[in-house]
Structure 1
Amino acid sequence: MTLLVVHLALTAAYAGFQWTVRALVYPQFARVPAGAFPAYEKAHQRRVTAVVGPLFAGQGVTVLWLLAARPAGAPVTGVVAAAVCLGVVLGVTGLLAVPLHRHLAQGFDRAVLARLLRVDTVRALAATAGTLVAAWLVLASG
């Protein structure tokens, strides 16, 4: 049960973080003066990595642990769904969001920001789904 609660805490923390970035941080990008934007974006990348890195690592550990040693009462479908949700978040991050951030680090581009907002909505929804799955696993095992 402890593993499931830790997983739930990590997924909820990440989902809250991701919705904050989506609703608050990214929309503010358009307000940064163009000449200052590349430095702003690079600083954003460093700071976000320091927060999101441990959350990704923690979720990676808990999902792998759940897959390797599913707790009694935890539905297999829930464990697989948790892995899928994290896979979507990591895949969208690595394949879509990171390249968009690299593009923005060269200079602000409204069209790239619009794509980043769409990509980030997918991430936030997948993170929310991961949290709902994690809560289901806790309840099913309790």
Structure 2
Amino acid sequence: MKLLAVHLALTAAYAGFQWTVRALVYPQFALVPPAVFPAYERRHQRRITRVVGPLFAGQGVTTSWLLVARPEGTPLLPVLLGAACLAVVLGATALGAVPLHRRLGTAWDDAAYRRLLRVDTVRAVAATIGTAAALAALLG
């Protein structure tokens, strides 16, 4: 039960973080003057990693643990759905958000920014579904 509660807390924290980034942080990118944006973006990357890194690591640990040693009575489907959602988030981050942030770290690029918003929406939605799956696993 503790594992499921910790897993739910981590997934909910990440989903809240991701929606905050999508709704508040990224829209502000467009307000930064292009001449200073690359430096702003590089500072953003360093700072955001300190927040998201532990959330990714924690979810990775609890998801792996649930897949390997699912507590008795915990339904399998929400565990698998949560793992799939985490895979979508990590894949969208590695293959979409990180390269786009690197590009924006060299110069403002409106097309890259618009793609980043789309990738981030995918991450936020997947994180939300992952949180619902974690709740379903806990309530079993």
With the shorter chain as reference, the TM-score category is over 0.9
Q: How does 1:19-34 map to 2 (within 5 A)?
A: 19-34=19-34
What is the SS of the residue equivalent to 2:35? helix
Q: How does 1:1-142 map to 2 (within 5 A)?
A: 1-140=1-140
How far the C-alpha of 1:57 sits from its partner, in A, is: 0.1
CA distance in 2: counterparts of 1:23 and 1:84, whole angstroms = 24
CA distance in 1: counterparts of 2:28 and 2:135, whole angstroms = 32
What is the SS of the residue equivalent to 1:32? coil
Greater shift in the superposed pair: 75-84 or 98-107? 75-84
CA distance in 2: counterparts of 1:12 and 1:59, whole angstroms = 10
What is the SS of the residue equivalent to 2:106? coil
How far the C-alpha of 1:33 sits from its partner, in A, is: 1.1
CA distance in 1: counterparts of 2:36 and 2:111, whole angstroms = 18
Percent identity, aligned pairs only?
69
Tell me the TM-score normalised to structure 2 length.
0.98
How far the C-alpha of 1:76 sits from its partner, in A, is: 1.1
What is the SS of the residue equivalent to 2:73? coil
Query: What are structure 1's unaligned runs of at least 5 residues?
Result: none
TM-superposition CA deviations, 1:74-116 (whole Å, max 9, x none): 1111111111010000000001110000000011111111000
Runs ≥4 residues deviating over 3 A: none
Query: What are structure 2's unaligned runs of at least 5 residues?
Result: none
CA distance in 2: counterparts of 1:82 and 1:25, whole angstroms = 25
Q: How many residues align?
A: 140
Amino acid at match of 2:100: L
Alignment root-mean-square deviation, CA:
0.6
How far the C-alpha of 1:72 sits from its partner, in A, is: 1.1
CA distance in 2: counterparts of 1:109 and 1:73, whole angstroms = 50
